[in-house]
Structure formats: C-alpha cells, structure tokens
Structure 1
Amino acid sequence: MAEPPTWPGLPPQIQSRSLVVNDLDVHIFEANPDVTLVGPPPLLILLHGFPELAYSWRKIMIPLSNAGYYVVAPDQRGYGRTKRRGVQHTHDHYAFEDDLAPFRMLNLVTDVVALVYTLGYTSVAAVVGHDFGSRVAGHCALIRPDVFKAVVMMSAPYTGAPAMPLGGTLPEKSPIQALSEALAGLTPPRKHYTMYYSTREANTDMTNPPQGLRAFLEAYFYVKSGSWHGNQARRLGAPSAATFAKLPLYYVMNLGETMPETVAREGYAPSESELANLAWLTGEEIEVYVREYTQTGFQGGMNRYRCATDPRWTEDLKVLAGKKVEIPAMFISGSRDWGMYQIPGELERMSRETCKLMREEDVVTVERAGHWVEQEAPEVVTATLLKFLKEHRPDSLGAAQ
C-alpha cells in the first residue's frame, strides 16, 4: 500500500479523507470546530479554481472552523485525488476523448449537492468559490437556494445562466467564438486563454513544458499574483477585441504561443530572488501542486473550459435564463487581480443585476493581493468571510436530523 501523501503547510487539525459521491471518490480536506456546540456545526463548502486544489484553502480553514463552522474543501471533479470510481488514478486519468457531459456546469452543481448530502447535511451556511469555483458556487446559489443559504464568489464575477434571446432569434456565433475570430484578426494576432485551454494540445503543453513542470507552475502562480509588477488591474472600456488585448498575455495570449511559453517570457517569469521572497507560496507548497499535477495532468480541469466554450454543454442552463440569485451574496478579489475585470461589465452586472441581495459593501477588494487572494491574504479573507457570515447566519444550519 502506498504511503499517504504529505501536505506541507497543512495545519494538523485539517483531516484528509475520501468519500463515495455518485460516480466519484471525492477527496476532501475537513476541519471541525474545536468548540462545544449545541447540535451539529454549520457547514461551509470551499470550491477551488484552476489550476488549484482543495489544498489551496489550507490557510483559512482553521480560522473558519475556530469560529464554529465545519469546513469542507473538496478536490473538484477532474482535480487532485478525486477520481472516477473504477478508473486507475494515473497520468492519463483524464483524456481529451472523455465524455464531457459529467463536466458541464449542471453536473458540477450536482457534485456539490451530492457531497453535502453525503456529509449528512441538507443545508449549507455558505458555499465559497474561487476562480472557476466561483462559477460553480454561483450556480449552486442560483439553482438550490434552499440548500445554500449564502454564497461568496472570489476573483471571477458571476453573472448567472446563459441568456435566452427575446424573440427567439439566436446569434450565429457564441460570444467566445466571435471574440476568438476578432482577436485572431489583430496585429499581432491573439487568442483568449479559455479557447487555448479547450484545445487538444494544451494539456500536453502544460504537463510537459520545456522549462519543467515546477518552473512553469512557479511562473504561473507568480505572474497572476499581486507580487508581479505587471498586475495593475483596472476597469477596461467597452468590449471589443482591442479592449481585450489590453489584458496581460496570460489572459489574451499571442496566437502562436503556449501558456508555458507565455509565462516564461521576459518581464513575466520570476527571478530566483523573487521566488525566494514569495512568502505566500513556499517551495515546499509548490511541490504539492507539482506532485498532484504530475499524477493527473491538467485535462480534467480543462474539460470544464471546453464545456464553457462550447454552447452544447451550457444548453441545459437556459431553463434558468433571467433567474436571479436571491440569497445573500459577496464578492472578494485582490486589488491587483485582472480576473474581476477580464470581461468588461461583468463585475457591475453581478452586483447590480444577478445577485439581488449583494450590497455595495459586499464587493470587497483586498489591497496588494492578486488572483490567489485566499492564499496571498488569508487573514483579510478570513475576517471578511466571518463578518459576512455573522451578518447572514440563520439560527439553525446543522446536519439533517
């Protein structure tokens, strides 16, 4: 039997285990409150983004559990040690030829609801999602407000289900297809990273990069963080190819480049001294990501992008067109994170239209932090979450009786 993995930087109070959830063996980290409570503690679900893991929440789980919450962070479908039942967990665990239906958004929400019930709960104090996990958390709130009593989106604004055009006239091309053509027509030609992640080549590019997987992941985490000098995030103008081209190259790439080539460019890649001073992600911690992605590759996570960029896999969400999030909602982002501005107007649409109970003070930016805000500024994120949760915590949010 293989030795259990080590998790540098993981507080000893956080436990690791796997649960059978539908067609998956779901790996979770969990932290129970070290306080005496009447009844079961309220549940918090934390959903990571790309290319992250449940491990990415390690810095905020214990403070949240110390406040009286049962905190659970799963490796989501396609990531880490969560695996399809009956399939050997190897480097080719996920393939480009896989059926994409399990990775469509409606099924990702089903994964979370099924996890909640497997844990013995029927309600969740809040679902918190970062990056792509923000979209999943938002859809959890939209679809099952009876289960999820509050929602927190981080880094990626959530704007609801796909729109249903009035009058029944569908556009000839999806927005991402139209954008892709426009970006390719620029000088020099460009491409959106979500379309790159949807290609067959992307997984091989990123799993076996010329600089090595560790150097690639170090550069990728660094260049999207508040530590990189180029992240001076700001609102952009009206949507157009020229507007999107103002984003850093890790969002709107040069047409002929891979992501490893992009983050290795001069002015992007970190120096040895910059990596040595990256206190929020140590060398031991980056090795966890290297180890896990060496085992799984990136295809499982990229399958989500393939569903997001192909309208066939969002068709079933159109039944929710026009529906609003009607539970308390918050958005948290680093002030140096371009993610909140990468699609012009989405931040405003989320706070003014999609989330009916999102107040002005519920849109929080954390100074000097970048995209990995829960890892870069865990103390501020924890305090912000606890303040929000205290304001919106119902009287009873325990396990099913």
Structure 2
Amino acid sequence: MDKISHRFLQVNGLKLHVAEIGSEPAPAMIFLHGFPEIWYTWRHQMIAVANAGFRAIAPDYRGYGLSDPPAEPDKASYDDFVIDIVSILDRLAISKVFVIAKDFGVWVAYSFVILHQEKVAGIVTLGTAFMPPAAYKHHFALPEGFYVARWQEPGRAENDFGRFDVKTVVRNIYILFSRSEMPIADENQEIMDLVEPSTPLPSWFTEEDLATYAALYEKSGFQTALQVPYRSSRLNLGSIEQVPIVKAPTMVIIGEEDYALKVPGVDEYIRSGEVKKYVPNLETIYVPNGSHFVHEQFPDHVNQLILTFLDHNKYAY
C-alpha cells in the first residue's frame, strides 16, 4: 500500500483525487469504483497489475472520497463522471487505456467506452455486464422494498443513514451487499434495519478497511453518492436496436453468490448470451462462492483473471 501514490488533478472546476502506481510509460489501466466504495476498493488489483508491468490509476469520482463535491450534488450525473474520466486521462497524457469497473462503475465505464472507443484497449467488469439503459428498462422491474428503489426516493436514505454514525452505515452496507440475498426491506422497515448490530464483518474485510472507508465518507458524506448512481438517469445510449456495439475485448467476472444475480432477469440476460448482442467479444467467468465484492473477497484469484486477460490483449494497447 505504501507504493501507491496520490495526487489531485484540477479538472472541470474541481480538484479530483487519483491514486496511482506503476511507471508512466507502461500500459495504463483505469479502475472505476462502485458504491459504497472509493479508490481503496482496488488496492489489491492495483498492486498486482503494477507488479506485472502496468500503470494503475484509480480516481475517486467527484463527491466521493477525497475528491471535491460538485457545486450542486443533487444535480450530479453520469455525464459528469464520464467527462471527468476523459479529463483525467487527458491530463495524464494517456491516449489509450484498459478499463476495469465494478457495480455502477460499469455504467460509467461503458458510457465512456461507447463514446470513446478509440481510447479503449479492453474492458473488465465485475458484478454486472453491459446493458443499454433502454434494454434495462425493457427487461427488469425492481422488487418492492429493494434498496435501489428505496434510495431513489429523495430523503429516504438520508433519514435512514442519519440514525447512525458514518462508520456504522458503511459497515451495514458492506455486510448487506456481501450476502447472497437481495437487500429487501419490509413495508415498515428501513434498509439499515436489515443488519443486526451484532453481525460480524465479512472475514475478508478488516476493521482497518472499514476505518479507511468510514474516514473518507466522513469527509464526503453521502449526498453525491446517493445522487449517482441512485437518482441520476444513465446516459442516453440509444434504443435497444440502435445502441452502438462495444468492439473492445471484454471480460465479466461475477461471484456466483452475488445478490445482483437475483434481480429478476439479470442472470438470464448474461447466461443466455443476450448481452453479446451489444458486447460480442465477451468472456464471462463465474467465481464459486464469490460475493458482490469478489475482488476484495478473493483478490488473488481475481488478480490472476485480470492479468491473464491483459496478457491476451496487450496487442490492443
């Protein structure tokens, strides 16, 4: 961890935090986090790819971690995040990059990829595969009481989280998202109530890890994080028929116990091969016993999968 350096880049009127490791001439990789994560979620992968001769870059999105919040957090959008990624790469003089993304970071990644295919050498996503917004709306309806639906409601999560200190909120979310069951609350229950105070952390997530996340969310708060991804519309990437094809080589890594596979239609969409209509050059790998945080749970295994993918696709850089 001491080898990972940190800098702040002034882009689009904000000071954004970027963690990085590896030499500048090396092929570059940008890591895009989800929620409740920040750059730190990629610590194991960053060190592994740097040791293999790559340059790893992991930003905190605007309003997350050590990055400045937008002037109006309740108006933050996916568009902002994509523009920031382009600006970060430009500032670092990186013309082509491998993209590694997880959770809602996958939507940021694919939006970037579709709009800037010439900049992309390859894509690895964790936990979900690409689905155009039009296809998502066509296929799925969120169950009543599902955390995503609850947190889309302005004020609902704020009131729920506000009953606890920040460390407890992050702890509860990590516990919830590590389970194989979908986090669904009863009608008169809030999402935070789904975790008993005595519930231990996952075995692979330490108190030190929790303290790191908590300290950064103490700084940033949850305002931007609740806006994006939960309340902001995804980029308009066209209809189901018109969405551009992702041409870059792509790998999806999914934990077999990831609760996201229980969202109605998601597993079928991936296993049936429908996703290949949009991402034809796709390899999907399921990790036995893997959770939503498979890259933190089984870092050595996930690192090896990523390194093998990179080795097979170095020619694209």
| TM-score > 0.5 by shorter chain | yes
Q: Which secondary structure state, in structure 2, belongs to the residue aligned with residue 364 of structure 1?
A: strand
Alpha-carbon distance, 1:255 to partner? 3.0
Alpha-carbon distance, 1:84 to partner? 4.1
Q: Which secondary structure state, in structure 1, belongs to the residue aligned with residue 119 of structure 2?
A: coil
Please give the alpha-carbon distance, in whole angstroms, between the structure 1 residues aligned to 2:50 and 2:313.
17
User: What is residue 223 of structure 1 aligned with on the other side?
Assistant: 176
Aligned: 1:317 with 2:237: yes
| Distance change >3 Å, CA 128–CA 294, structure 1 → 2 | same
Residue among 141, 145, 161 paired with 2:113: 141
Please give the alpha-carbon distance, in whole angstroms, between the structure 2 residues aligned to 1:61 and 1:203.
32
**What's the RMSD between the two structures over aligned residues?**
2.6
CA contact (8 A) 2:256 2:289 kept: yes
What fraction of aligned residue pairs are identical, expressed as a percent? 23
User: What is residue 131 of structure 2 aligned with on the other side?
Assistant: 159
CA contact (8 A) 1:161 1:323 kept: no
| Runs of 5+ unmatched residues, structure 1 | 1-10, 34-38, 88-93, 165-173, 184-189, 232-247
CA contact (8 A) 1:29 1:73 kept: yes
Please give the alpha-carbon distance, in whole angstroms, between the structure 2 residues aligned to 1:218 and 1:84.
23
Residue type at the aligned position of 1:257: Q
User: What is residue 347 of structure 1 aligned with on the other side?
Assistant: 270
Please give the alpha-carbon distance, in whole angstroms, between the structure 1 residues aligned to 2:67 and 2:217.
12
User: What is residue 189 of structure 2 aligned with on the other side?
Assistant: 257
User: What is residue 6 of structure 1 aligned with on the other side?
Assistant: none
| Distance change >3 Å, CA 258–CA 297, structure 1 → 2 | farther
CA contact (8 A) 2:169 2:192 kept: yes
Residue among 106, 113, 136 paired with 2:79: 106
User: What is residue 201 of structure 1 aligned with on the other side?
Assistant: 155
| Distance change >3 Å, CA 23–CA 202, structure 1 → 2 | farther
Residue type at the aligned position of 2:313: H
Alpha-carbon distance, 1:294 to partner? 2.0
Please give the alpha-carbon distance, in whole angstroms, between the structure 2 residues aligned to 1:270 and 1:376.
21
Alpha-carbon distance, 1:203 to partner? 4.1
Runs (4 or more) in structure 1 with deviation over 6 Å come to: none
User: What is residue 307 of structure 2 aligned with on the other side?
Assistant: 386
| Distance change >3 Å, CA 22–CA 319, structure 1 → 2 | farther
Greater Cα shift, 345-354 or 377-386:
345-354
Please give the alpha-carbon distance, in whole angstroms, between the structure 2 residues aligned to 1:319 and 1:24.
33
TM-score (norm 2): 0.88
CA contact (8 A) 1:151 1:327 kept: yes
CA contact (8 A) 1:219 1:270 kept: no
Aligned: 1:328 with 2:252: no
Please give the alpha-carbon distance, in whole angstroms, between the structure 2 residues aligned to 1:350 and 1:111.
31
Alpha-carbon distance, 1:389 to partner? 0.9
User: What is residue 216 of structure 2 aligned with on the other side?
Assistant: 292
User: What is residue 5 of structure 1 aligned with on the other side?
Assistant: none
Please give the alpha-carbon distance, in whole angstroms, between the structure 1 residues aligned to 2:8 and 2:227.
22
Alpha-carbon distance, 1:284 to partner? 1.4
Post-superposition Cα deviations, 1:228-255, rounded to whole Å, max 9, x if no partner, equal 5xx2xxxxxxxxxxxxxxxx351x3323
TM-score (norm 1): 0.71
Please give the alpha-carbon distance, in whole angstroms, between the structure 1 residues aligned to 2:93 and 2:217.
31
Alpha-carbon distance, 1:341 to partner? 4.1
Return the index of the structure with the highest Cα Rg: 1
Post-superposition Cα deviations, 1:62-111, rounded to whole Å, max 9, x if no partner, equal 110011111000111221111147x6xxxxxx65xx3x2x41x3332222
| Runs of 5+ unmatched residues, structure 2 | none
CA contact (8 A) 1:206 1:213 kept: no
Post-superposition Cα deviations, 1:352-398, rounded to whole Å, max 9, x if no partner, equal 3221111xxx2112222211111111111110001011111126x4x
Alpha-carbon distance, 1:342 to partner? 1.9
Residue type at the aligned position of 1:301: A
Please give the alpha-carbon distance, in whole angstroms, between the structure 1 residues aligned to 2:174 and 2:288.
18
Aligned: 1:30 with 2:12: no
Work out the number of aligned pairs and report it. 313
